[in-house]
Chains A and B, each alone.
Chain A
Amino acid sequence: AQSVTQLDSHVSVSEGTPVLLRCNYSSSYSPSLFWYVQHPNKGLQLLLKYTSAATLVKGINGFEAEFKKSETSFHLTKPSAHMSDAAEYFCVVSLDNSGGYQKVTFGIGTKLQVIP
């Protein structure tokens, strides 16, 4: 069985300060991990993904995440928050199963507020 836990439902940062959104996962096998962003009243957009290559993954808009197998974590970071980063962020774990499709589990989301 696989699961994903986003440790904070809301995070508030000041513009220009670092962002840290935390995600822990559990999986019987080596998973693929993703971060998606959803701006208000919009669909989900892929920020970055980890698929067993480099453990430090760089994404769009200055975001990056580090896969730490020993800690079963995939935290999302950005050095300096921008007002446009205010959105909801989803951590996702994906595992190929024997049926040939992706079993995908979403976290419940972290809402990021950026204060001017």
Chain B
Amino acid sequence: NAGVTQTPKFQVLKTGQSMTLQCAQDMNHNSMYWYRQDPGMGLRLIYYSASEGTTDKGEVPNGYNVSRLNKREFSLRLESAAPSQTSVYFCASSEAGWGRRNEQFFGPGTRLTVL
């Protein structure tokens, strides 16, 4: 099992450019998440998908869109990148469903710099 995989690992963009971060999991999890990590702020939830076919906003969704392509894949898109979106992005997945409390499994992260 590869667990949670993310591509690319590193990316440098110019302000206004667009890009899509890819995430896939092979654990048959229902729920998937996108976080950003900034120094001194822990991880903040951008978007999540509780199950295939659904997506919802998290704590910091502005400037991002997501697509749950199928049960395995959950992508994050920056339509017009801004320097404030320079961050490390983590994808995670979990079994989570009604009344279940399961840990999240994290990918290795994508380090994005917007110039």
Q: Do A and B come from one complex?
A: yes
The answer to whether B48 touches A43 (Cβ under 8 A) is no
A27-66 Cβ-contact flags toward B at 8 Å (1 or 0): 0000010101000001111100101000000000000000
Pick from B31, B40, B41, B44: contact of A101, CB under 8 Å? B31
The answer to whether B106 touches A102 (Cβ under 8 A) is no
The answer to whether A32 touches B98 (Cβ under 8 A) is no
Interface range, A side: 20 to 34
B9-42 Cβ-contact flags toward A at 8 Å (1 or 0): 0000000000000000000000101000000111
Main secondary structure of the interface of A (DSSP, over half): strand
Contacts of A36 in B (CB 8 A): 106
The answer to whether B50 touches A90 (Cβ under 8 A) is no
- Say whether, besides A9-B40, A44-B90, A101 and B48 are in contact (CB < 8 Å): yes
Pick from A9, A96, A107, A109: contact of B100, CB under 8 Å? A96
CA of A65 to CA of B43 in the docked complex: distance in angstroms? 21
CA of A113 to CA of B40 in the docked complex: distance in angstroms? 16
Minimum distance in angstroms from B110 CB to a CB of chain A: 10
A69-104 Cβ-contact flags toward B at 8 Å (1 or 0): 000000000000000000000100010100111101
CA of A104 to CA of B106 in the docked complex: distance in angstroms? 14
Main secondary structure of the interface of B (DSSP, over half): loop
Interface status of B114 (Cβ within 8 A of chain A): no
Interface status of B45 (Cβ within 8 A of chain A): yes
- Say whether, besides A43-B108, A45-B106, A46-B103, A100 and B97 are in contact (CB < 8 Å): yes
B38's nearest neighbour on chain A, judged by CB, is A108
Minimum distance in angstroms from B20 CB to a CB of chain A: 19
A31's nearest neighbour on chain B, judged by CB, is B101
Contacts of B50 in A (CB 8 A): 99-101
4 nearest A-B pairs in the assembled complex, by CB-CB distance: A106-B42, A32-B101, A101-B50, A44-B106
A residues sitting closer than 8 Å to B (CB atoms) are 9, 32, 34, 36, 42-46, 49, 51, 90, 94, 96, 99-102, 104, 106-109
